[in-house]
A and B are shown apart, each in its own frame.
Chain A
Amino acid sequence: MIWQFDTLILLLLLVAAVVSLRLRDLLAASVVFGIYSFLMCLLWAEMAAVDVAFTEAAVGAGVSALFMIATVYQTTRKSSD
């Protein structure tokens, strides 16, 4: 509930979402998606939702980013937009 910390993390979250959608290289977009998940986890831990933060850290940043990297490995790495 510390508003300075909250505001900083929210702005970083916005930047991570925009960057992840604008990158042309799909491997880098998956990694920035992992950064987005970690920032979400931090925000939830600050909001006293520790179970949700734990699950998001394990699922979002660990497993979900790895699924995307595995799929990018099997298809092409560059995207047109």
Chain B
Amino acid sequence: MRLFGLFAVLVTGALLLYGVKDFPHYGAADSPANGGIVPRYYLENTMKDARVPNAVTTTLADYRGYDTMFETSVVFTAGVAIFAILRVFGGDRNRHHPDSLRIRGDQFRIIVGTTSRLLIAPIQLFALYVLAHGHHSPGGGFQGGVIIGASFLLLSVARNLGESLTRLPEQRFFTLGATGVLIYAGIGLLCLLLGHHFLDYRALQHVLPGVSPEMARSHGILGVEIGVAITVSSIMFAIYANLSTRGELKKGL
């Protein structure tokens, strides 16, 4: 197996390196990827179509909105799959004690507990800032959602998993995960019901009072980013809760 693995890797590497010599030079401005029509359109029209200076956010949520919707559903499906793989329903639960990792951190409990208590609320506030400023600076739905999830993980690691589970019990985090995907698809469906295409946010000008079509697109982008953030944050915590207790959600790290 080792010899076959080495041989396969060497052959693949040699073929890839043979292909490298046809690449354009690193960072060339006239390479086919940089000078094509599509990125030029995205950069030039991001202000005109949606009044959003961040070209990456408007491409992600508006021009390529389908991809982002299915990616959100992939994250939710991964959370459900982990639950389905690890959960034992009744019957045979062999309590197996892990023989390996003893965390002897009791003498650090004051430092870790105090620091985490000071840090968790500003982390969540910063995550909301990142989510709301996705239009004007790097940021957006994914980053904000992952940071909120990471704040729950910090609470679980610094204190007890049970403490964060009392704040966000199991039924609630799966409901929130589904709610985020529903918000995204719901905004798309609302645009369809109002007479435009699916995920064509210009239809929102009929619902929101007194906005131009471009500002309606900007608000639509914000709405779907909120949906993405809700799903990603709850599923990150769901994955950690299931992984660190082997599906039982009793004790943790």
Contact = CB atoms under 8 A, between A and B. Distances in A.
Q: Determine whether A and B are in direct contact in the complex, meaning some CB atoms lie less than 8 angstroms apart.
A: yes
Interface of A: 1, 27, 50-51, 54-55, 58-59, 62-63, 66-67, 70-78
Contacts of A74: 98, 243-244, 246
A70 B243 contact: yes
3 nearest A-B residue pairs (beta carbon): A70-B244, A50-B138, A58-B146
Contact of A77 (B101, B146, B153, B236): B101
Contact count band on B: 20 to 34
Contact of A1 (B27, B100, B240): B27
A contact face: mostly helix, strand, loop, or mixed: helix
B142 A55 contact: yes
A65 to B, nearest CB: 11
Nearest to B153: A66
Given A1-B27, A67-B239, A55 B146 contact: yes
A77 B101 CA distance: 7
Contacts of B252: 70
Given A54-B143, A62-B150, A63-B146, A73 B253 contact: yes
